[in-house]
Amino acid sequence: MSEPIISVSGLRGIIGKELTPEVAIRFARAFCSQLAPGPILLSRDGRTSGPFLCDAIASGIVACGRECRYLDVVATPTLGVAVQTLQAAGAIQVSASHNPPPYNGMKLFGPDGRVLPASLGHRVLIAYRKLSQDQHIAPWAPFDSIGSRSKVDDPHQAHLDRVLATVDARAIAQQRIRVLVDSNHGAGSILAARLLEALGCDFQIIGDRPDGRFSHPPEPISENLSAIGSTVLGGGFAVGFCQDPDADRLAILDEHGNYIGEEYTPVLCAMRALMLRRGPLVTNCASSSMTEYLANKHQVPFFRSKVGEANVVDCMLEHHALYGGEGSGGPIDPRVVLVRDSFVGMAQVLDLMVATGKSISQLVESLPRMAMIKDKMTLSKERLDASIELLRTGLEADSVSTLDGVRLDWADGWLLLRSSNTEPLVRLIAEAPDRQSAEDLIRRAKTLMENA
């Protein structure tokens, strides 16, 4: 049996091959061994393998003598809120995010309701790897100290209340905005319906049964959403919202059915936040420069983190950020929870539309026009590290950062090269005012590296 892909925030793998009940129990035991006393929450997205994985994980938790509180199907940010409101020691979300149907995974949360920071995640990883040789790392409880398992009633309300508190719900309801949501049979439809009903929207949800039987490939990117765009345009919807299976990412379609891209989601949310108050903005080094544009426009501090939700949150906490997020459609509003949140995205984009009186396409027109291109090439991390000066001089970069991989910046664009953690690949991301310029940056970088 091959090993699942494991990181400091969790694991994922193909069911029956890389991810089995034995692997799930072992990972849950390792997690339990690193947590302070208190209940551990467990939830899942809609994937068909979720119920049996949750049964296995719950058995491992109670067999370690811990209390397991089960939320059933909830979105990933909803679990983060529940950790706080139920004062849990930690939580596990069973989800493979946007991976194809054969996959599932386990995402870990700390006692503060955020995805595990690297320090705690590393301790869980060490415990997991040692468990096969040393069972004392996470001992089984004796017969008279077995934990308990219970069900949490309505885990969604606390999250709903927090999201609603960030917007002018009455003003939104007065507009009776026509909204299409594509939950694609993931976890997002349950709270999406309650949220849009509370906001007085005229809405329709596609894929509202969270059974994991995806109607299209689950990642909410342009090539997977053409049919949704046609429905938005044909149905006269003012906006289309598309969630990934665990509903922490949100892509947006404008009133014409055009995919505006996940990069715009946190930017539009930050735009609304800055209309109400001032404070630092944070995004990762692979996200669009539009967030930096907003920060400069409003004269507030701007910070970049390494790629990864946990890194963004660390940076937000360090700088007391007003708002943060990742360009993969993940706004993070500290008033709700320090987790990427599609429901925050929906509510606050609707709030922005009402506050400005503008459509989605008009809001997008008010931002700088940028094109982002992503590519990859076969190259080792060692070769990349040795080529930093070659890239700087060969591409005549204004500045170079090695915060996460190699990022080169110019006045009107940037290029990031990051090594894969699992294979000898380098991923390239470029952003420039037009597609041709972004493609040229990637082409020139690949030529330099191939001829070095």
Options 1.25.40.20, 3.30.300.130, 3.40.120.10, 3.40.50.2300; CATH of 5-154: 3.40.120.10
Secondary structure element (H or E) that encloses residue 90, with its range: strand 90-94
How much of the chain, in percent, has pLDDT values that exceed 90? Answer: 91
**Looking at residue 65, what is its pLDDT?**
97
pLDDT digits (tens, 9 = 90+) for 30-68: 999 999 999 999 999 999 999 999 999 999 999 999 999
pLDDT digits (tens, 9 = 90+) for 105-117: 999 999 999 999 9
**Looking at residue 271, what is its pLDDT?**
98
**Looking at residue 422, what is its pLDDT?**
67
For 421-433, give the DSSP string.
SSSSEEEEEEEES
What's the average model confidence in pLDDT over 419-442?
91
Strand order in the sheet with 302-305: 302-305, 281-284, 323-326, 330-332
- Under the banding of pLDDT at 50, 70 and 90, the label for residue 4 is confident
What's the average model confidence in pLDDT over 293-316?
97
**Looking at residue 349, what is its pLDDT?**
98
How much of the chain, in percent, has pLDDT values that exceed 70? Answer: 99
Average pLDDT, the chain: 95
What's the average model confidence in pLDDT over 287-302?
97
What's the average model confidence in pLDDT over 316-329?
97
pLDDT higher than 90, residue 450: no
pLDDT higher than 90, residue 423: no
**Looking at residue 138, what is its pLDDT?**
86
- Under the banding of pLDDT at 50, 70 and 90, the label for residue 379 is confident
- Residue range 158-365 forms a domain whose CATH class is alpha beta
What's the average model confidence in pLDDT over 406-425?
90
Residue with the bigger pLDDT between 133 and 257: it is: 257
**Looking at residue 6, what is its pLDDT?**
87
CATH assignment, 371-451: 3.30.310.50
pLDDT digits (tens, 9 = 90+) for 163-208: 999 999 999 999 999 999 999 999 999 999 999 999 999 999 999 9
pLDDT higher than 70, residue 1: no
CB atoms within 10 A of CB 368: 11
pTM given for the model = 0.95
Strands 371-378 and 399-401: unpaired
CA distance 188 to 246: 7
- Under the banding of pLDDT at 50, 70 and 90, the label for residue 284 is very high
- Under the banding of pLDDT at 50, 70 and 90, the label for residue 397 is very high
Q: What is the DSSP letter of 221?
A: S
CA distance 405 to 420: 10
Q: Is there a shared CATH topology between the 5-154 domain and the 371-451 domain?
A: no
Domain ranges of the chain: 5-154, 158-365, 371-451
Q: Which residues contact 294 (CB under 8 A, 6 or more apart)?
A: 267, 270, 271, 274, 281
